[in-house]
Amino acid sequence: MGAQIRSAAESEAKVALTRNKLVLEQARAVGLLGTAKNTRLSGRVPSELIDAAKKRAHVTSDTELLELALSRLALEDDFGARLVGRKGSIPADIDLGI
């Protein structure tokens, strides 16, 4: 049982690290991340929030967490809003063949 839990945790970490890498690569590709770090961001948040976010994202530094979180937010698509906006656009009497 312990080996299964360890294997699941390792798998989760591997997936998170791969996802993080892809997000940061995409952010670089569209020009959101470069070599210059020319802006400082400061704020007060609960340490529990930071710890939980770092654990979930499998990152260790505050800078890494901020870059990842801001990249995800900046790259987020609007699929949900577009899907809801299409509500009612398909005729109710269409034959779906079900």
* Residue 95, in any domain of the structure: no
Torsion-angle region of residue 94: left (phi > 0), alpha (psi -120 to 50) or beta? beta
* Residue 7, in any domain of the structure: yes
Angle at which helices 2-29 and 62-75 pack, to 10 degrees? 60
List, for residues 75-96, the tens digit of each pLDDT value: 998 888 888 888 888 787 888 7
* Residue 92, in any domain of the structure: no
* Residue 93, in any domain of the structure: no
Range of the structural domain that residue 27 is part of: 1-86
* Number of folded domains that form the chain: 1
List, for residues 27-66, the tens digit of each pLDDT value: 999 999 988 888 889 999 999 999 999 999 999 999 999 9
